[in-house]
Amino acid sequence: MLKVVNPTTGQQIAEVPITPPQAVPEAVRRARAAFQHWKKLSVAQRARYLYAARDWIVDHQDEIIETICAETGKPRTEALVAEVFYCCDLLGFYAKNSERYLRDEIRSPHLLKTKRVFVIYQPLGVVGVISPWNYPFTLAMGDVVPALIAGNAVILKPSEYTPLTGLLVERIFREVGLTENVLQTLCGYGDTGAALVDHCDGIAFTGSVATGKKVAERAAQRLIPVLLELGGKDPMIVLKDADIERAANACVWGALTNTGQTCMSVERVYVEAPIYDEFVKRVVEKVKELRTGVEIGPLTTPRQLEIVERHVRDAVEKGAQILIGGKRREGLFFEPTVLVNVDHSMQIMREETFGPVIPIMRVNSIEEALQLANDSIYGLSASVFTKDKRLGMQLARHIESGNVCVNDCITNFAILEAPYGGVKQSGLGRRHGEWGLRQFTWPQTVVVDRFGLKREVFWYPYSEKVTRWIARGIRWLYRRGLRERFSHPHSRPLT
């Protein structure tokens, strides 16, 4: 049995049966059987279940919030905004737009005008979703919903720290009438998740880089597609012309929301020298005003608390100064912390901390800020603060990150129309929009002959006449195109 512990009180709140790895093949078999019916429904028919699930969430939001808070310790406001609100929006977005994203596409061949070409988006089959503990409702539903409406059966394996929320996801769809076994939740440890990789037709994993690499390696043995949303060490760049008040507010919230346990958290801050002192002063003032249990909750797991303590200790030993916080409190609480005199020799500036710590570094130029921001194995999110929005856009283009905000932070995740995901070791694939839906499908190209001739000119039997005709056609189509290109006044010959 999985013992579920409330990280705020340290008290056990539930026990959940474990699905052992050897039971996963039977669960996949059930899912495959259910998939045969589910995939035949139209997108519009599947969308009705999404709308019904949204209604269920609206009617049961207090119960959902209580479950999330009990398992993670996060403040109720964060559970409401970052989990319940997001999932309601997600369900409505895909219910409304999936028919357009998944409809058959007609392509017009540039040569073979006697053909009609269709691109059809076929579901993968059974998708395994392995979700984390930091946003147990949002990040589970974020993969479950597009996988379902794309026509797949889904098996969800929630984190062993937050199984109740994972079971709640299954319950929602069951109570709105979803066909049995189209969505199943299996609770367990890493070996249960590994078994999903061994038997499903596609995997969506959200978690650490180390585990993500193992998932990718295991999936590669079977050549199944994987979506990986992994870690981040997300930089904030504050230029000397920035609105200091807005930048400081964004920094504090962006670094400390969900107690810093957010992949898109502001994890390192680079501030141009002319405004550095004022920026640091305002950040410290704002951190002092935060209330434990209202804005700041506990770390969700003991291991995460140990990582935060280790990173702060390493920074101090290497010369960093603590301006506020820096200490562990009773239970899994850690004081919101601001560090200065930091540099890239410290773990706090290079490894994912995932805790309530704000390390701030002085820089002397935009070029130095950009170089330091890109000096990372991660590339999930970043932010730039400047009153010159054109400069902000230019700088964003040079930041090696899948998501960048100008004069904002974290907002990318709330824009469901746009792709969200990382580069470098922050992951593969994208959430949201058509990208986040079509990755749970495989594109099938269907070519239909239009005129029904008895044979094509290049079919058997071959003849010298046809060969000469094709050779002349190549010269006519392509050499003439090159001459036209190089005769254009703005063209330059290849050298």
Active centre residues (catalytic): 229, 263
> Which residues lie across from 328 on neighbouring strands?
334
Give CA–CA dist 463/453, Å, rounded. Answer: 18
Angle at 309 between CA 308 and CA 314, to 5 degrees: 100
Distances in whole angstroms, Cα of residue 452 to Cα of each of 114, 116, 212, 455 = 9, 12, 50, 8
Q: Which residues pair with 448 in a beta bridge?
A: 116
Residues 6+ apart with CB under 8 A from 182: 31, 34, 35, 38, 148, 153, 154, 173
What phi and psi values does residue 345 have, to the nearest 5 degrees?
A: -80, -10
Give the integer Cα–Cα distance in Å for 430 and 335.
34
**How many Cα neighbours within 13 Å face the side chain of 341?**
11
* Burial class of residue 435 (count of CB atoms within 10 Å of its CB; 0-12, 13-18, 19+): middle
Taking the C-alpha atoms of residue 426 and residue 231, their distance in angstroms, rounded to an integer, is 5
The b-or-e profile of 37-46 (16+ CB within 10 A means b, else e) is: ebbebebeeb
For residues 384 and 2, give the distance between their C-alpha atoms in angstroms, rounded to a whole number: 43
Structural tokens at position 470: 């094709």
At a CB cut-off of 8 Å and minimum separation 6, what does 300 contact? 7, 71, 72, 73, 74, 133, 134, 161, 259, 261, 332
Q: Residue 333 is encoded by which pair of tokens? A: 């609480």
Cα separation of 379 and 427, whole Å?
8
Residues 6+ apart with CB under 8 A from 434: 101
The amino acid at residue 143 is: D
Q: What's the distance, CA 430 to chain centroid?
A: 6
How far apart, in whole angstroms, are the C-alpha atoms of residue 435 and residue 414?
15
- Rg from Cα positions in the chain: 26
